[in-house]
Amino acid sequence: MKERKNKRFSRIREMFSGIPALGWLVGALVAVIIEYYFGNSLADFLHMDRLPVLFGVVVILKRPLDIPGAFVYVMLIYAIPIAVVARLTSRLMNRIAGFFDRLPLWVSAIVHLILLYYVLSVWTDLSDYRLLILKLSLIAIMVTLSLNVINGYMGEFSCSHPGFMALGAYVSSIFSVGLFVNDRILGHALLGVVPAWVGQLVFPIGLLLGGAIAAIGALIVAIPSFRTRGDYLAIISLAFMFIVKSLFDNLGFLGGARGLGSQPDWATLPTIFIWAVLCIWTINNFVESTMGKALNAVRDEESAAESMTVNTRKTKMIAFMFGAFWAGIAGGLFAHVLRYVNPGTFGLRKLAEVLAMVYFGGLNSVIGSIVGAVGFNLLSEMLRPLEIIKWIIIPTLLILVMIFRPTGLIAFKHFDVREILKPKLKAKERM
């Protein structure tokens, strides 16, 4: 009996094993387009108030009567179209993927990314709530990944990430609000109010400034603290986080504890998507480079690495600053999504959140960080109707992950883009 069951599962798995990433993306695209045109009428037909936003989980928790409706909806809109389209087009998609495989990697990557962006933008077009969740998730990916460089690849335990985010958030806000917005706190716009497209052009400057200041902040922590290891770095970096927080608490001209608001609405989905892709790309290249390997060597045994001609001090310093830089960029985007920053946001709670995402997803792994950040964010948003019970479920999940997979869900895995995008042949054809 059990054997049969296994056989059935392996048959299903085999049915879908020959589908390349391109096939899944096309399937997802078809699904979101179907939802775009028929989602509302299907929800009506199933007697639901509205179409389920986050795959029906919120609906299930709030109105148990709608469970079958949500199930049918998710099956009809997502599961079945994706499976059918991906399966039926697998031969064609394999051929196309094979064609891309012969081209330089960046061509194929860009085509896939455009497709992914299109899927996401159609999906979020139906609901601004979805759009906000997606934006926050993309930012969470950046933060998680940048902390993973330090805590995962370098093997130190740094607690200053909310501080770096705060630096990025405030610096980019000073840039955008101070120069382009008439505001009560920062006064008259120094360069005048600009149209949105000009804003999009100058926004990267503000973000890069924020990232740079965060990196300088990292340097200030790094110089004294890298003489120490382990627990001591954790303490120093924690202190840095509190210093940054109380700095902004006491800077009256930035609004102090009241916070700084009225950031222009520049953090649109394409902007955040491009920055997130850039972040994943550069961090992945960084950790796969000689420097990244040196980082792993430092983590495993510092003195051995030193004797193998690795400049451990320089390596650690660069990795730390690099992580802080991306945390600063993420902080800047975060401030412009919420269009308000206050020092209280970047406290212990944010730290716990970021650390949870890193350790939930998996150390030393780019995919792990993506899975951790998106999973944690979606879960946190989906379970919100449970109120206090949510704070029992999420920590329990974390504990279970720590027990059964102590290094996180997908740890120590290479993120090989070519491997992911290449055509998948069925087991038979491979032989």
Q: Which residues bind other proteins (CB under 8 A)?
A: 4, 8, 46-50, 53, 65-66, 68-69, 71-72, 127-129, 132-133, 136, 184, 245-246, 249-250, 256-259, 261-262, 334, 337-340, 342-345, 349, 381, 384-385, 387-388, 390-391
Question: Shortest approach of other proteins to residue 337 CB, angstroms?
Answer: 8
Q: Which amino acid is at 364?
A: N
Closest CB to other proteins among residues 370, 382 = 382
Closest CB to other proteins among residues 72, 115 = 72
Closest CB to other proteins among residues 94, 144 = 144
Closest CB to other proteins among residues 265, 301 = 265
Contact (Cβ atoms closer than 8 angstroms) between residue 147 and residue 355: yes
Return the bridge partners of 365, or none: 413
Closest CB to other proteins among residues 142, 318 = 142
Closest CB to other proteins among residues 130, 313 = 130
Question: Shortest approach of other proteins to residue 399 CB, angstroms?
Answer: 19
Question: Shortest approach of other proteins to residue 65 CB, angstroms?
Answer: 6
Closest CB to other proteins among residues 4, 188 = 4
Closest CB to other proteins among residues 216, 394 = 394
Question: Shortest approach of other proteins to residue 261 CB, angstroms?
Answer: 6
Question: Shortest approach of other proteins to residue 368 CB, angstroms?
Answer: 23
Secondary structure string (H, E, C) spanning the chain: CHHHHHHHHHHHHHHHHCCCHHHHHHHHHHHHHHHHHHHHHHHHHCCCCCCCCCCCHHHHHHCHHHHHHHHHHHHHHHHHHHHHHHHHCHHHHHHHHHHHHHCCHHHHHHHHHHHHHHHHHHHHHCCHHHHHHHHHHHHHHHHHHHHHHHHHHCCCCCCCHHHHHHHHHHHHHHHHHHHHCCECCCECCCCCCCCHHHHHHHHHHHHHHHHHHHHHHHHHHHHHHCCCCCHHHHHHHHHHHHHHHHHHHHCHHHCHHHCEECCCCCCCHHHHHHHHHHHHHHHHHHHHCHHHHHHHHHHHCHHHHHHCCCCHHHHHHHHHHHHHHHHHHHHHHHHHHHCEECHHHHCHHHHHHHHHHHHHHCCCEHHHHHHHHHHHHHHHHHCHHHHHHHHHHHHHHHHHHHHHCCCCCCCCECCCHHHHHCCCCCHHHHC
Question: Shortest approach of other proteins to residue 358 CB, angstroms?
Answer: 18
* Alpha carbon distance 299, 283 (integer Å): 17
Question: Shortest approach of other proteins to residue 329 CB, angstroms?
Answer: 17
Closest CB to other proteins among residues 384, 418 = 384
